[in-house]
Amino acid sequence: MTVPHDPQTPRTGGGGLFLARERYRQRRLRDVGRVLPILGLVLWLVPLMWTREGSGGLAGTIVYIFVVWTFLILCAAIMARRIDTTDDAASPPEEPRG
């Protein structure tokens, strides 16, 4: 049986990679930035699956495309402000262990 780790005491031993919390968040934001164009493509392909009767026709499709486009622009702008561009430049490159 294992004893749960107390968050007040530092961990000792046990391998594993530890990343600082802010650096971890920066990496996840960059990952979301890489996935955002794929999400946009999938959202833009959705109107191809609509039937002409149920979705409001061509006008509804055009409104949907522009709403998705605006959503993608807003997401990209918010992420661009939150991503720290000096993060990689400040950290020294890791040397391979050999």
Integer Cα distance of 79 and 15 in angstroms? 32
For 12-53, write each residue's pLDDT tens digit.
Answer: 555 566 667 778 888 888 888 899 999 999 999 998 888 766
| Amino acid letter, 56 | G
Average confidence score pLDDT of the chain: 78
Integer Cα distance of 19 and 91 in angstroms? 12
Average pLDDT over residues 72-81: 92
Q: What is the pLDDT of residue 66?
A: 96
95 pLDDT band, cuts 50/70/90, is low
Q: What is the pLDDT of residue 14?
A: 57
DSSP single-letter state for residue 17: -
pTM: 0.60
